[in-house]
Structure 1
Amino acid sequence: MDNAYKETGALLQVRDLHTHFLTDSATVRAVNGVSFDIQRGERLAIVGESGSGKSAMAMSLIQLIAYPGRIMAGSVQLEGRELIGMRDKELNKIRGKEVGTVFQDPMSSLDPVMRISDQMIMPIRMHLKISSKEARMVAIEWLDRVGIPDAAKRIDSFPFEMSGGMRQRIMIAMALSCNPKLIVADEPTTALDVTIQAQIVQLLKELTETTGTAMMFITHDLGLVARFAQKVAVMYAGKIVEYGTVGELFAHPKHPYTQSLLKTIPKISGEKNGRLLHISGFPHDMKNEIEGCSYKERCSAAMSRCYKEAPPLLERDGAQFSACWLADGLNTAGLGKAISLEKPVEMPVAISDMDDAVVVAEASNNVLVIKDLHKHFQRDSILPWKSAPAIKAVNGINITLQRGETIGIVGESGCGKSTTARMLLGLDEPTSGSIEVNGNIQIVFQDPYSSFNPKMKIGDIIAEPLNVQGIGTKEERRFKVRELIGKVGLEASYLERYPSQLSGGQRQRIGVARALALNPSVVVADEPTSALDVSVRAQIINLLCDLKEEMGLSFVFISHDLSTVRYISDKIAVMYLGEIVEYGPAERVFTNPAHPYTKALLAAVPVPDPVIESKRDIQLVSGELPSPANPPLGCAFHSRCPLATELCFRQKPALEDYQIVRQVACHAVS
């Protein structure tokens, strides 16, 4: 490994790092000999599937690895100082001052009962050795620099008074406030809307360029890597399997794993090419020893040598390195089938449709008709003689969904997507309007693990809807469950397992199987792929498309991931502050967006191509979503719209026909 990396006086040098989690039942070898350098001012992205060791490696650098994790071997040097084995007293002088951290969930990192000022000022005083008054001024300056409006007042707010995007900005301000030499950012944008995500990434990029701070950026999103990074390290099974410049790695990937990852991404633009490709098999179980190459079971190019001998990270073209015995990976000798296109097993359904206690639409091809739907939440006022303004979560939407059709609902958090889903499922009563359903509606949740009883076997979880409704005999229900698990592409042996024994993708397949148990006509999929790796995401998208084709299912697909929405949807409804501002065929909306908000959403989506990203003139939408308790007069988007005129400030635009096939609510669109 040392032969691959030349000593260059780097800011951070990591050599042969090993981190294990020592439990009573097994040893999990999370990090297995990682080596890399980060130069001053450099942005290095770390990518790979869940379980590849990215976060464990990052936390090991400053010895924040959680129990029962333990750094077993290796060296981490910051400007020549060895951090491994350093005492906590010395490490505390480095953490925050020389190495800052930005975590995935700012709400779990910020103390909810402490004001922002209390959380920022103390470390600034400690590390910069300045007075409380001076530290407060430094904190305000950084909050202003990261885009917190009215920073001098907002510094005394509590975290729960901030939006998700603002909390993440505060975390960035805290990480940079002591002028560190290195920032470790672990999935800092995963839970954010695409517009806020774009703002945060642009902010991080600008700050590293202006301050000279280096950054390690851990992410699943290859589009963000193309937009942000200068160097990329691809991790698999606790090791770096490919390393190089972002341009070379995207243009000429050398490792079969990298090559396959890049092929699994749905496109935000251009032609949709059939089914998404996904990597077959599952990542190596890190409880087990690795013999030979860790990727061999999933690689069609694997040969006998791969099973006996682990390939080192070898130099390929200049600054590009790959841990594969084949210099060009799957491109060698025309190999290229490490990706899978298999469809789930097709099985007949034994139990007939169940009549549901919902309003049934007239016999037609329509399975869902939403008319002038409103949902207003009335809050209690702290003043008994004054009523609080209602929160208009959904404010008059109309949607028609036909059999076998998928509608994608997109928009920032707070736009009303999930409230609409809750009304469709009968979990919230509409304030006014109507929902007509021909058949019944079921849901696939964002996080299947939290929706499962961890003490129930998979077979019982799938059978639960049938048991509750009293459908069929015990034997019929058992037969139905076996059909359902086959339909989502899993073997019957999984029925005897518990949720904790399944991967994220397998659990989501079980969530789909449970949703199909009552033969629904409509399935609401609420962010069903947001927590999944890119390859597993492709498997779930393919599964939903197959079920739509085979069973004539209709989907209401809610997601922040616009590339996924574009791939799976026939129609798109773009929501903003409880209203639909653009509605029409998915391809028309994505290839020729009409509303300024739709254009802003699509502009914010990163493209997994550094060449394209370097040429894009991205006009990010400014500000954040206004409060639904106090919406702007006139057009709801006028406070953030670059095309707003005086008319937009005083008159609300109606959702009107545009180019025959779609509708747009905008004064600037004729």
Structure 2
Amino acid sequence: MEMEGIQKKMILQVRDLNTHFFTDSGTVKAVNGVSFELLRGERLAIVGESGSGKSAMAMSLIQLLAFPGKVVSGSVKLEGKELIGLGERDLNKFRGSAIGTIFQDPMASLDPVMKIEDQMVKPIRMHLKLNAKDARSLAIKLLTRVGIPDADKRISSYPFELSGGMRQRVMIAMALSCNPKLIIADEPTTALDVTIQAQIVQLLKELAETTGTAMMFITHDLGLVARFAQKVAVMYAGKIIEFGTVHEIFSQPKHPYTQSLLKTIPSVAGEKKHRLLQIQGFPPDMKLLVTGCSYKERCPVATDRCYRDSPDLTLRGGNQSAACWLENGLMSEGEEKIAELLSYKKKEYSVKKMDSEKNKEVNDASGTVLKIQDLSKHFTKTSLAPWKKSTVVRAVNGINMTLKRGETIGIVGESGCGKSTTARMLLNLDEPTSGSINIEGNIQIVFQDPYSSFNPKMKISEIIGEPLNVQKIGTKEDRKQKVGELIQKVGLESSYLDRYPSQLSGGQRQRVGIARSLALNPSVIVADEPTSALDVSVRAQIINLLCDLKDEMGLSFIFISHDLSTVRYISDTIAVMYLGEIVEYGPAEEIFNNPVHPYTKALLSAVPVPDPRVEESRNIELLQGELPSLTNPPAGCAFSSRCPLVTERCMKEKPKLDDYRVNRKVSCYVVS
């Protein structure tokens, strides 16, 4: 095929790239001697923890580094043309034309006061030298190409008038607008629902295959890597420490860091649930001189040589290379030794915590700690124009749930389905329009972003102890002792109590948030996306912690997340929500192994599996369309406008959530 010949053409050559950030507290060596190549049409994934240098390296290629960052040495050639050393005027000829960029948050990248056509047409006219009419026509074609319906009308919209998925599609259309040779996608799906994420990844793959554009995809989601990439570069401490094809990296990783990362992932398939592996320690401070291997302090098989000498990236067979003195990394020690070295405890978590004497003191005899009946929340949306009528936003529509002691209910669904509104009602932050909530004991919350929920001027001891002080529980000494017990319970040393939130990592802050939620001895904890902002390695630590607390204390959780692999791992029961309603409800394993509702099937089909062999053999049924307006929902089934199995009855009559099997409920006429 013609494409196979084209793909051999070299697009990008990076040699010994070094980028530093010159701060008042010292020089941060963010990128340290990175080298790689990218051919036309190739899809390369860059993975690694936060601070590994992924984004700094990518932005160094086009020299869009935030102050005080600077490329200090190295070479970046695009089709043989050297970019390092070019002035701003010459660089602008490459940015947006030869190199397109898709950023993580399209709302922050798009101008909120400019229409889409204004933001697309100007770059097209500048780079392609087209007149206004032809540039607008091309913009509409590009928007149509990336899957935006009625593009001739949507092009006149402002960014805030589009959904998150639509805004990201606009960013992709803009990146493609000038026929780039390379597209850099920096966490382009992080803020998107799993269904929209699947659409975006599939779109990027198709564009690479049909246009020959090389793709560089930066992510911390290893499932997406397995679905998208042909090649993978694993970064740590500013260096590429392993490089190879996606099959080589996933089936036979050679570096201890890569091997450990792959063992931290909760799988969406298979039986649950053994304790997840945890990578101990933290990446090195890049302001300090690193002697020897940068991973040595966290590596369980590090030797004296690792502390003295830094290993280079060397070939290990095929297209794979790794920077490790051991030929096979951890695998040199054997599987049993790996488990021992990594403290991989084969602890199995119970599905539901059995009654204990302690729990009986605070819970009723039936074991029910939370009961929700016919819960609804409707908001009135008043127009500023006096001639327009007010509209009702039906955020939650008559949901029912029962939470047992020691049970975790996972609530899943796309943005706008009512998950967070339900959580706000449980916490009495929103008053229900109708229905009832009965809680035995008290309820607390663990937030998605703990840093935004902390007072940055308060010490950790004050943050954890705040609920105790507000409720005036015990004496000052009692409260101090309680805070000390809580910090240890979440796996942090007491020395952290004298620190401020800014002095802690993301995972440490989330542990503090969990400690604060435990202060008043809750019976129920609402965990609202508690792991979505964390690296995969830190996510494993937090998941293990929540499971430990559940088993040890008999806690019950309402776990809200769009990460379905995490939801499956941690949950006993699943509630699938769509447009304010529960459409499927039942045991987690049954729903994941045998989804019944078409929406549940679509959600699970969209979840990436961290195994490229599985991804290649899957028939992914992408969910089409967007969530209907909450002010004007479909007359019949809420899912009827997007359902591939829709019937005339579905469009006219709303199905009830009825029994399907024992402990299973489904709201669908097609499967009744």
TM-score range, shorter chain: over 0.9
Contact residue 279 and residue 340 of structure 1 kept, 8 A: no
1:499 is matched with which residue: 498, 501, 520?
501
Aligned 8 A contact 2:408 2:571 in 1: yes
Counterpart residue number, 1:403:
405
**Distance 1:520-1:343 versus aligned 2 partners, 3 A rule:** farther
Counterpart selection for 1:533 from 535, 542, 551 = 535
User: What amino acid maps onto 1:668 in structure 2?
Assistant: V
Task: Describe the superposition over 1:282-330 as per-residue Cα deviations: whole angstroms up to 9, x where unpaired.
Answer: 1112121111000111111111100000000000112100000111111
Aligned twin of 2:342: 339
1:80-104, CA deviations, whole angstroms, 9 ceiling, x for partnerless residues?
A: 1111110000000000000000000
Query: What is the alpha-carbon distance in structure 2 between the residues aligned to residue 648 and residue 362 of structure 1?
Result: 41
Helix, strand or coil at the partner of 2:92: helix
Matched with 1:628 is 630
Q: Under a length normalisation based on structure 2, what TM-score does the superposition of the two structures give?
A: 0.95
For the Cα contact (< 8 Å) 1:361–1:436, is it kept in 2? no
Residues in 1 aligned to 2:130 and 2:559: alpha-carbon distance in whole angstroms: 52
SS at match of 1:336: helix
Which residue of 2 is the match for residue 661 of structure 1?
A: 663
Q: Which residue of 1 aligns with 2:518?
A: 516
CA deviation after TM superposition for structure 1 residue 563, in Å: 0.3
Q: 1:10 offset after TM fit, Å?
A: 2.2
Counterpart of 1:425 (choices 417, 424, 427) is 427
Change (3 A) 1:653 1:9: closer
- Pairs within 5 Å for 1:366-515: 366-384=368-386, 386-515=388-517
Q: Counterpart in 2 of 1:94? A: 94
Q: How much does 1:363 deviate?
A: 5.5
What are the equivalent positions in structure 2 for 1:218-229 lying under 5 Å apart? 218-229=218-229
The answer as to 2:235 corresponding to 1:235 is yes
Aligned residues of 2:412 and 2:577 also touching (Cα < 8 A): yes
Farther off after superposition, 24-33 or 433-442: 24-33
SS at match of 1:21: strand
Aligned to 1:180: 180
Measured after TM superposition, the shift of residue 342 of structure 1 is 6.7
Over residues 260-296 of structure 1, what are the superposed CA-to-partner deviations in whole Å (9 max), with x where a residue is unaligned? 1111100101122411112111111212111100011
| Match status 1:209 vs 2:212 | no
1:331–1:341 distance in 2 versus 1, CA, 3 Å: closer
Q: Secondary structure at the match of 2:671?
A: coil
Letter in 2 for 1:525: A
Q: Which amino acid aligns with 2:43?
A: R
CA distance in 2, matches of 1:98, 1:385: 50
Which of 550, 553, 556 is 1:554 aligned to?
556
Identity score, percent: 74
Per-residue Cα deviation, 1:34-81 (whole angstroms, up to 9, x for no partner): 111011111000000000000000000000011011111111111111
1:109-133 per-residue CA deviation (whole Å, 9 max, x = no partner) reads: 0000000010000000000000010
For 2:546, the aligned partner's letter is L
**What secondary structure sits across from 1:30 in the alignment?**
strand
Partner amino acid, structure 1, of 2:297: E
Higher mean alpha-carbon deviation, 156-165 vs 269-278, is at 269-278
Q: Within 2, Cα distance between the matches of 1:281 and 1:329?
A: 18
Deviates further, 22-31 or 478-487:
22-31
Q: Distance in 1 between matches of 2:108 and 2:416?
A: 20
Task: Supply the distance in 1 between the matched residues of 2:437 and 2:481 (Cα, whole angstroms).
Answer: 33
Contact kept, 8 Å, 1:361 with 1:368, in 2: the verdict is: no
- Shift in Å at residue 527 of structure 1? 0.1
Q: 1:568 aligns with which of 548, 567, 570?
A: 570
Structure 2 matches for 1:297-316, cutoff 5 A?
297-316=297-316
1:644-659 matches, within 5 Å, as 644-659=646-661
Pairwise mapping of residues 75-86 of structure 1 onto structure 2 (< 5 A)? 75-86=75-86
CA distance in 2, matches of 1:555, 1:333: 39
Q: Distance in 2 between matches of 1:147 and 1:88?
A: 34
Alignment partner of 2:137: what SS? helix
> What amino acid sits opposite 2:152 in the alignment?
A
Q: Distance in 2 between matches of 1:173 and 1:555?
A: 41
Structure 1 counterpart of 2:431, which letter?
E
Which residue is equivalent to 2:5?
A: none
Name the structure 2 match of 1:130: 130
Aligned: 1:33 with 2:33:
yes
Contact 2:46 2:216 in 1 (8 A): yes
What is the alpha-carbon distance in structure 1 between the residues aligned to residue 373 and residue 492 of structure 2? 39
Q: CA deviation at 1:381?
A: 2.6
Write the mapping of 1:157-176 to structure 2, written as runs, cut at 5 A: 157-176=157-176
**Correspondence list, 1:65-84, <5 A:** 65-84=65-84
- Alpha-carbon distance between aligned partners in 1 of 2:292 and 2:285, rounded to the nearest angstrom: 14
How far apart, CA to CA, are the structure 2 residues paired with 1:607 and 1:598? 16
Tell me if the contact between 1:407 and 1:573 (Cα under 8 Å) persists in the aligned partners. yes
SS in 1 for 2:421: helix
For 1:617, what is the secondary structure of its paired residue? coil
Q: Which residue is equivalent to 1:252?
A: 252
Q: Which sits farther off after the overlay, 65-74 or 484-493?
A: 65-74
CA contact (8 A) 1:343 1:489 kept: no
Encode CA deviations 1:425-470: one digit per residue, 9 max, x unaligned: 0100000000000000100000011111111111111011111111
TM-superposed deviation, 1:383? 4.3
CA contact (8 A) 1:43 1:228 kept: yes
Following the alignment from structure 1 to structure 2, what is the Cα–Cα distance between the partners of residues 491 and 142? 54
Rounded to whole Å, the distance in 1 between the matches of 2:440 and 2:211 is: 59
**1:374 Cα offset (Å):** 0.4
The letter for the 2-side match of 1:387 is K
The SS at the match of 2:10 is: coil
Q: Where does residue 322 of structure 1 map in the other structure?
A: 322
1:286 aligned to 2:286? yes
Rounded Cα–Cα distance in structure 1 between residues aligned with 2:470 and 2:617: 56
Whether contact under 8 Å (1:343, 1:543) holds in the other structure is: no
- Cα deviations by residue, 1:564-608 (Å, 9 ceiling, x for unpaired): 000000100000000000000111111101101000000000001
> TM-score scaled by structure 1?
0.95
2:275–2:345 CA contact under 8 A, matched in 1: no
Residues 3-40 of structure 1: per-residue CA shift (max 9 Å, x gap) = xxxxx862111111111111111111111111110111
Q: Deviations over 1:362-411 (max 9, x none)?
A: 66311100000000000113443553220000000000001111000000
Equivalent residues of 1:343, 1:546 under 8 A apart: no
Q: CA RMSD in A?
A: 1.6
Q: Per the alignment, in what secondary structure is the counterpart of residue 307 of structure 2?
A: helix
What amino acid is aligned across from residue 253 of structure 2 in structure 1?
P
The partner residue of 2:599 within 592, 597, 600 is: 597
Measured after TM superposition, the shift of residue 627 of structure 1 is 0.9
Query: Where does structure 1 lack aligned partners over 5 or more consecutive residues?
Result: 1-7, 345-351
- Which residue identity is paired with 2:391? P
1:382, 1:661 → 2: CA distance? 47
Superimposed CA distance per residue, residues 249-268 of structure 1 (whole angstroms, 9 cap, x where no aligned partner): 11111101001111110010
